[in-house]
A = this chain, B = another copy of it.
Amino acid sequence: MSSKDGFSWTKAQGLKPGVPCIGAISPPSNLSTHDSTFDVIVVGAGYCGLTAARDASIAGLKVLLIEARDRIGGRSWSSNIDGYPYEMGGTWVYWGQPNIWREIARYGMQDELEVSYDFSRGINKYLLVTPEGTQRFSHDEEDELMQKGLEKLVNVDGCGGRETVVFPHSAKLGPAAAKYDRMSVADRLAEIQNDLTPNERLCVEAFVLLCSGGTLETTSFYEFLHWWALSGYTYQGCIEYLVKYKFRGGQSSFAIRFFQEALATGNLKYSFSSPVASIKSGPTGVEVTARQGQKYRALKMISAIPLNVLNDVTFDPPLAPGKKAAADIGHVNQCVKVHAEVLDKDLRSMTSISYPHNKLSYGFGDGTTPAGNTHIVAFGGQHNHFHPEEDIQQTISAFQGFAPMQIQRLVFHNWSKDEFAKGAWFFSRPGLLVDHLNDMRANHGNIVFACSDWALGWRSFIDGAIEEGGRAAMTVRAGLADRARL
């Protein structure tokens, strides 16, 4: 199976749109001509929509899942090439992420994880590349540099953030959010500019931009504090929670379990490659119109549409002003994530920051391919934005900006040009959360809005998507139970 999404490049084949994907669904629909009325329509088949559709169909509701793409997974999917997965979006998971781990345990996938890093062989170095040249550090020195720098960034309370974000899963945005969400990371860096060594500053800036995919000016300092708190208030925690453990079979091997479980109930109808044009919510239910013209009706709807594309769907009645304002503002993450298969075995144990000049600022060894080559994953973002498919030579050069390497293959998804995402995972610009988090979470008539973009705990993560999908299904079930009692 293949998806139209994503790109691959090899010297032999050049640039090709579309990549193999075990999460591509064929045939694209199981609807019959008489299927037009449902208990609930779920729009969006990322982890949030998948969870909502699965939970609702297990609970006996007649569910229609509509998805614009030809595949499940939304912003988290893998392209498995020669059996080896390249993660196009959301990748890493951890047993401290409650919603995702509950699912991993439930599907018995606890032993299907592997560690991205392998520091047992090769150069085993951290390369800090600046316009002035390359400094080489051990990974222990890297950890110390990162921990020291980040600790200075977050230490607004003398306790490394511990007394500032005390309950990172709280449903309330407390005083810390009120204060620090209006502040950008650039503002915070200005406060501590005399405390950071030049290397600490480079590391901190590159790490924050890896998280936000924005610029220092557009990155909410509170949202970064929130990530820090979620990760246990340490850099080591950040590594464990954010970038260490991934599925041996790729994200799509996990997502497909949700889809298959929902399908096995017999209650799930679906339609892929079917973008939604408009959504009408009335007193008795919801009518969803696809761009191709089909109309579907249901008592309830769950919108798992990401924030940055919410305005591309017409809502009748229109979205409430607060929700509309949030969609107008959008999130700032324009992450550029590119995979390279390279001949250089030694680079398996490389980690590197190449900043601020390089198009890709963060890169590290992420695996060994079936051919025995090294898999390097690299990240850029709004700070120095580019479209990797537009100039392959430039993309190759951006990898060479970490260290010399012989690139055999590139694999990536351009999230910025993706019309159904218009960006990568959510990251808040200053003020968006305090002004609009509750707006983003609010229902609209018979529509529940559910998305990782406004989750309470692991917002922006797969975990938050599952959190939101579960909440949405439960809300819809409760709403329909009320109706039954009338």
Which residues of A line the B interface, CB within 8 A?
58-60, 95-102, 104-106, 108, 110-111, 113, 167-172, 232, 264, 456-457, 467, 470-471, 474, 477, 481
Contacts and interface: CB of A to CB of B under 8 A. Distances in A.
Contacts of A96: 95-96, 98, 232
Contacts of A59: 58-60
Those 4 A-B pairs whose CB atoms lie nearest each other, nearest first? A98-B101, A102-B102, A98-B98, A96-B96
B170 A110 contact: yes
Contact of A101 (B108, B111, B169): B169
Contact of A99 (B98, B167, B232, B481): B98
B95 A95 contact: no
B481 A264 contact: yes
Can you tell how many copies of this chain the complex includes? 2
B470 A167 contact: no
A471 B172 contact: no
A306 to B, nearest CB: 21
B167 A110 contact: yes
A477 B58 CA distance: 10
A190 B190 CA distance: 54
A309 to B, nearest CB: 26
B99 A169 contact: no
A121 to B, nearest CB: 17
A168 B111 CA distance: 10
Nearest to A108: B171
Contacts of A110: 167, 169-171, 456-457
Nearest to A96: B96
Nearest to A109: B171
Contact of A470 (B102, B457, B471): B102
Given A59-B59, A98-B98, A106 B474 contact: yes
A477 B57 CA distance: 13
Contact of A111 (B99, B102, B170, B232): B170
A238 to B, nearest CB: 13
A433 to B, nearest CB: 16
B457 A95 contact: yes
A58 B55 CA distance: 9
Contacts of A467: 102, 105
Contacts of A456: 105, 110
Contacts of A101: 98-99, 169, 457
A409 to B, nearest CB: 30
A111 B481 contact: no
A438 to B, nearest CB: 14
A412 to B, nearest CB: 30
A32 to B, nearest CB: 21
